[in-house]
Structures are given as C-alpha cells and as structure tokens.
C-alpha cells in the first residue's frame, strides 16, 4: 500500500478556486438536484450544503486521478473541511463509495486496511462505522458517511440530513433492508488481531447518534463482544464473507477470531 499525502494548503486553494468558478458551481448544483430527484431520496438540510458536497466530490475525484489512486481518506473532517468547503465531507464520501471507489473519514488506519480487504472480498461498498456495546444480542452500527449502493446495484432509501455532531452540512441517513445479512470486521491494531462478526439487520433507528444507523442482531456468542469492543471503528459489508475474510487475514499474518459458535 502506497500512502500519498495531499496537504490542506494546496487543497484549500482548490476549494476557493472551485467556489469562484461559476460553471463548476452550476455543475455541482445540477448534480445535487439530480441526486435529490432520485426515488426514495428526501432532503432535510439546505441545498447549498448538498451543492458544496458535489464540489468536494469533483475535487476529491481530481486528486484520485492525479495520483492514480482508488482509495481516499480525509483527516480533520470537522475542524478543517467544514470551514473550507462550507459543508461536511459525509455525503461526498458516500458518493465515492457508491461509485465503487474506497472513501473513508477520519484517516483511521486501524480500520482502513480491513476495509480495503473486505471491499475486494465482497465486491461492493463497505461501511466504516462506530462500534457499540451489544445489548440483548444487538449492536447499533452508526456513522454519517453510509454508502447507499451497499449491494453494488441499488440506491437504498436515504434522507439527506446534517452531520450529527456539527448539525451542519450534508450527511445521508441510509435505510438498509431488514433481514439483510451483514459481515463486520473489528480490527485491533496493537496485536494484529481481527474479530469477525456476522449478523442480521433488524432496524434502522433514528437515535441521537451518527445519521446512518442499523441495529444488527449478532449471530453466535454475542456476549463475547462485551470484551471485544475496543477500537473506535468496525467495517461492514452486505452478505456473509466470514470464511473468505478468515482465509485472507491468515494469509497476510493477521490473527483471526470470530464470535460464531464453533
């Protein structure tokens, strides 16, 4: 993996130039309106936030092309991107994942290698999300950057809201199909150990946490997770990919564990 850093000094200039370019702004607004006109899409934030998210999309894609890269992560999401772009990166990262690229927030290199691997195993977008402690066998998986084409084909229903912590910008609340089987990986960086989790989506609640939220019933010994929720993020893909993830992780020297019985 080659990691290329793109600094905010240069990127700030790109954002300012884009916001001063009337044709680029008009193109971003046209994309925003087309996106919001899609079936099962509702907006509960301001159109300028969505338009600015598409401006960011243009610029992030520009960086990916310049560096011949297929994966992207943004650091200092709230403290730096928000004042520069007058939106949040949440919807932008969702769009990139919907296109089949890899786009993550927070530059969390504990979870990103697992995310890249699971993306290629599943052949579809992956969802980087916060972990929670299980309660009666259910974990709530939530973040503001949820992709909508998690099956690689359809756009799942979504409300475009503000980013939760800042109450600013544009972030999708994506509704996953109930009954959908999912695979999650929970990596621990310090020991090189990954825990595999399989579960079923039971609900898409609207709690006072990050916008895209899924209640997932864990298959197997869910109580084992009470001692396993340690790092801040998990990665999720639709479908059952535990056997392939176990095989691949062992091949690259990662210690594998699972909450499944047996």
Strand partners, 258: 196
Which pLDDT belongs to residue 79?
86
Among candidates 47, 45, 46, which has minimal Cα distance to 34?
47
Give the pLDDT band of residue 262 (cuts 50, 70, 90).
low
pLDDT tens sequence across 156-192: 999 999 999 999 999 999 999 999 999 999 998 788 8
Cβ partners under 8 Å of residue 232, min gap 6: 108, 110, 130, 131
pLDDT tens sequence across 33-65: 999 999 999 999 999 999 999 999 999 999 999
Strand partners, 215: 140, 203
Kindly report whether the global pTM for this prediction surpasses the value 0.85.
yes
What is the torsional sign of CA 172, 228, 239, 203?
negative
What is the torsional sign of CA 118, 120, 122, 126?
positive
Phi, psi of 34 (to 5 degrees): -65, -40
Burial 174-201 (b: 16+ CB within 10 A, else e): bbbeeebebbbbbbbeeeeebbbbbbeb
Question: What number of CA atoms fall less than 13 Å from residue 166's CA on the CB side?
Answer: 22
Q: Check pLDDT > 70 for residue 29.
A: yes
pLDDT tens sequence across 116-127: 999 999 999 999
Tokens in use for 99?
């296109």
Report d(CA 140, CA 127) in Å as an integer.
13
Q: Check pLDDT > 70 for residue 241.
A: yes
Domain ranges across the chain: 8-258
Which pLDDT belongs to residue 230?
64
Nearest-10 Cα torsion for 100, 83, 162, 181: 30
Which pLDDT belongs to residue 231?
67
Report d(CA 100, CA 127) in Å as an integer.
12
Which pLDDT belongs to residue 192?
87
Among candidates 102, 129, 99, 123, which has minimal Cα distance to 209?
129
Determine which helix (DSSP H) or strand (DSSP E) holds 83, and give its type and residue range.
helix 82-85
Report d(CA 87, CA 76) in Å as an integer.
13
Which pLDDT belongs to residue 186?
93
**Average pLDDT of the chain to the nearest whole number:** 94
End-to-end alpha-carbon separation of the chain, Å? 34
Report d(CA 89, CA 179) in Å as an integer.
30
């Amino acid at each position: 993996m080659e990691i290329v850093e793109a600094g905010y000094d240069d990127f700030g200039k790109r954002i300012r130039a884009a916001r001063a370019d009337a044709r680029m702004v008009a193109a971003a607004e046209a994309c925003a309106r087309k996106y919001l006109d899609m079936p099962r899409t509702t907006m509960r934030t301001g159109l300028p936030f969505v338009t600015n998210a598409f401006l960011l999309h243009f610029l992030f894609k520009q960086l990916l092309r310049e560096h011949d890269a297929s994966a992207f992560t943004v650091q200092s999401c709230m403290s730096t991107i928000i004042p520069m772009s007058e939106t949040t990166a949440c919807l932008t990262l969702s769009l990139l994942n919907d296109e089949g690229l890899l786009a993550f927030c927070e530059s969390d290199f504990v979870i990103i290698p697992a995310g890249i691997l699971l993306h290629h195993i599943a052949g579809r977008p992956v969802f980087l999300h916060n972990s929670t402690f299980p309660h009666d066998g259910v974990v709530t998986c939530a973040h503001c950057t949820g992709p909508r084409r998690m099956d690689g084909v359809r756009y799942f229903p979504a409300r475009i809201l503000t980013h939760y912590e800042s109450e600013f910008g544009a972030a999708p609340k994506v509704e996953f199909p109930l009954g959908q089987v999912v695979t999650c990986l929970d990596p621990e960086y310090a020991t090189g150990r990954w825990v595999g989790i399989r579960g079923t989506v039971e609900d898409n609640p609207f709690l006072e946490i990050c916008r895209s939220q899924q209640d997932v019933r864990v298959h197997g010994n869910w109580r084992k997770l009470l001692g396993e929720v340690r790092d801040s993020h998990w990665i999720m893909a639709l479908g059952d990919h535990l056997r392939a993830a176990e095989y691949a992780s062992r091949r690259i020297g990662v210690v594998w564990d699972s909450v499944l019985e047996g």
